[in-house]
Amino acid sequence: MDLRQLEYFITVIEEGTITKAAVRLHLSQPPLSTQIRLLEEELGTKLLERGPRQVTPTDAGRLLYNRARNILSMTDATLSEVKMLAASGTEVLHLGTISTTSTIILDPRLKTYHQKNPYIRFDIHEGNTSELLGWLNTGTIEIAITRTPVVGESFHCSYLNQPEPMIALLRKEMDWCPDRLRISVKELEDRPLIYHRRYIRIVEEECNKYGFSPFCVSISNVRNSVLWAVSGIGIALVPQSASFYAPGADMTSKILDFPMADSQQCVLWHKHRQLSHSAKGFLNILNCQKPTA
């Protein structure tokens, strides 16, 4: 299996037929069909379901398609970075963040790191925690900045801050208790709520303890949850630091008495991958250390 075969396979999946893929690749159809067949023989499994009008990937084909895209993307990035380093001495640091940790750019330590290493370019990938873990495993990123809880024995984990509470973020005209800074979960009954899908289970379980089901008007990521709250559609249940996305005088927040939803920002890196010089320096500036046994 080589990169050329992976490119052929990706094109076949994206075009849906061998004929269209051959046109896009500027090949005749028989050699392309032969390469796909050789790929299936090498892997010992069927990758395509061949219908009269189109081909569709099998489960194995879908897995290979996703992996192949990552492999070719990493190959292109590697070639680009090697050429860049050779030409100008510029290194690239691949970081991954979720929506509520992208504010890492405001950390003064990051400015210090950049001042000490002006030749390093940042390549930022934003996704959910599951995507970040996948990118760490494939080497797409070297460091992930995410939020607890995180499950994965393959990663070192270092915490950036103390646990922060969940807040209810809302417009002031929706505030039923302007004289209080804290509220109980019971007070959310019958109120329109907006929260991240990762909080679905714990929000439902906590509300059920108080004898009601949450009135959820939107499931979204944290940044969009805040925007929905700003629009006045509902109350966003988000980590306290997410209030950064809603600085206006028309907004207010309440700390929820909901300890199970407390979370911490954390830095992850793979236990079994060699880190680049730039990644080691980044961890050092954030005071991230390998946990001791």
Helices then strands (H, E): number in the chain? 9, 13
220-232 pLDDT, tens digit per residue, is 888 889 999 999 9
Strand pairing class (192-195; 215-219): parallel
The per-residue pLDDT for 85 is 61
Say what the pLDDT of residue 277 is.
87
Per-residue pLDDT reduced to its tens digit, 113-168: 988 888 888 889 988 888 999 999 988 899 999 988 887 788 999 988 888 999 99
Angle formed by the axes of helices 3-15 and 59-88, nearest 10°:
120
Nearest partner of 229 among 263, 253, 198, judged by Cα? 253
Predicted structure pTM score:
0.65
The whole-angstrom separation of Cα 36 and Cα 39 is: 5
For the segment 40-57, the average pLDDT, to the nearest whole number, is 90
Please report the pLDDT score of residue 90 as a whole number.
Answer: 65
- Average pLDDT estimate for 98-120: 84
Q: What percent of the chain has pLDDT over 90?
A: 46
pLDDT score, position 166: 93
Rg (CA), the chain: 24
What digits encode the pLDDT tens for the residues 231-288? 999 999 999 988 888 877 799 999 999 888 888 889 999 998 889 888 999 999 988 8
Contact 204, 263 (CB under 8 A): no
